[in-house]
Structure 1
């Protein structure tokens, strides 16, 4: 991995979220000036106001930034996908991305790179078939959302700013996301596979997620989609066994697919779907994972 760039001013949208907060801490620890985009009136230096749903951002606050990272968006698994919440999922990503991309493009001295969040949901259901960045978009709400999400960054790309789409997998961390819900269940002895357990989960340790995002910032040869997943995706059943092994808890339970559909609604399709995604471009660019295997990723989280 190439050495990190010298200290610079970097804007982070979504800096209060699981990944964004970890990235902001990492950047600040290395001496970078982190500019946090906030949805309220700024209360301290280093804060810039924006309203992602309405597509508004204080563009002047981005002046002098060498990079802009957009990880903002309403939580995918936070609640059932009602029509209203689907609108919020879409607006928080697409409108916010478009606003940032326009602001970046309009700057007299634009940043050298715009890293925009995305997700491996772009590929939809892949079954047992392993795919990488060369694969086309899949079908379904999340796939279509990812396509629109990435397309919203067009103003930055058309202005000549290197634009990267970080297609992130399931982040192994205690503080949020899918694993934030799994850890308490397994520690209580209530863990188990979901559905038939044969669906692939493409995971990544939070440590590696942050390192990969910084890799995208620093490597001038990377643009377009880059998968942020560990190199060895596993089935839900294999991950369930690993969770029980690392946490020293049995995992005797299984949640049948009909129960998941009844509880989660349309979101169950994402939980039960199989996405076997490979990080080809990340590996080819020289990135090295600290936790390529699931046991290490789980231990790093706990």
Structure 2
């Protein structure tokens, strides 16, 4: 199967591409630095430098859209927020324009989104049917999804992955937390009562593979494990796995001063359940946080 992956050199994308290639698929990766794709993803993977290079006669059975500027890498100035939106919504709009021009349309578009779609909703259990709270993250995800949904006009099946905090050994949330926790300097963020909805990267990849295989799947899916935890439970579990204490909380006021509006990513609460995946019969390899963290730490 011929598959195009945008964002294929990122934290999730590299692991996904490796799995796809291992499954015998022919993978093309869109990258700002196509000359680095072979080194990052393997010699079997073709690097594409710009969507403008996609000729109408080129065809892919599946397109997986994961591109986007890192959300945690810099404080959210107005310029940074515009970059975050453009790198997701703008690129997705361009991608769908390319699909419109293709002589043979893809069968499936899997497009990234995030549980930020729901905003800060406290202890409420959130499913794919839940409405979002109007903040920057919700508007970003809602507009991102709307751009991807337009592909359905051209007969393309569209699946939207509302991804939680992704756990793996070589990046993402865990990589940012480990230095402090390894030295026994970790602790809860703010009150610690906010919910964290997470997923092991291998389960995320398995969700994507299921979407490719199951033609009945379409629309939004929460890519989160079935057992979200509070921040206090997350930090205590991580400390226990590392055999370290978790005695140094980061007060909410300090995080707000340091991070500004971006603090909503760590202080906001999303208790997200993968209702549609469970109804589909999807089986998680890592349904519990302790097992997911131990698997990631063992791989380091």
Is residue 128 of structure 1 aligned with residue 123 of structure 2? yes
Shift of 1:175: 2.3
* 1: CA distance, partners of 2:26 / 2:175: 29
* 1: CA distance, partners of 2:107 / 2:281: 21
Alignment partner, residue 236 of structure 2: 241
CA contact (8 A) 1:77 1:177 kept: no
Alignment partner, residue 218 of structure 1: 213
Moved more, 265-274 or 148-157: 148-157
Equivalent of 2:87, from 83, 87, 92? 92
CA contact (8 A) 2:29 2:48 kept: yes
Three-state SS of the structure 2 residue aligned to 1:192 is coil
1:228-283 Cα shifts (integer Å, max 9, x gaps): 00001000001111101111111111000001011111111221000000001111
* 1: CA distance, partners of 2:100 / 2:279: 29
Alignment map for 1:23-62 (pairs within 5 Å): 23-40=16-33, 46-50=46-50, 56-60=51-55
Over 3 Å counting, the alpha-carbon distance change for 1:30 and 1:212 in structure 2 is same
Is residue 203 of structure 1 aligned with residue 233 of structure 2? no
How many aligned positions are there?
Answer: 290
Alignment partner, residue 294 of structure 1: 289
* 2: CA distance, partners of 1:182 / 1:125: 22
Over 3 Å counting, the alpha-carbon distance change for 1:268 and 1:75 in structure 2 is same
* 2: CA distance, partners of 1:128 / 1:36: 39
Alignment map for 1:97-246 (pairs within 5 Å): 97-246=92-241
Shift of 1:300: 1.5
Shift of 1:220: 0.7
Is residue 19 of structure 1 aligned with residue 17 of structure 2? no
* 1: CA distance, partners of 2:170 / 2:137: 23
Is residue 282 of structure 1 aligned with residue 277 of structure 2? yes
CA contact (8 A) 2:158 2:219 kept: yes
Alignment partner, residue 65 of structure 1: 60
* 2: CA distance, partners of 1:37 / 1:62: 17
Moved more, 200-209 or 154-163: 154-163
Normalised by the size of structure 1, how large is the TM-score?
A: 0.92
Normalised by the size of structure 2, how large is the TM-score?
A: 0.93
Unaligned runs of 5+ in 2: 39-44
* 2: CA distance, partners of 1:144 / 1:63: 33
Alignment partner, residue 4 of structure 1: none
Alignment partner, residue 5 of structure 1: none
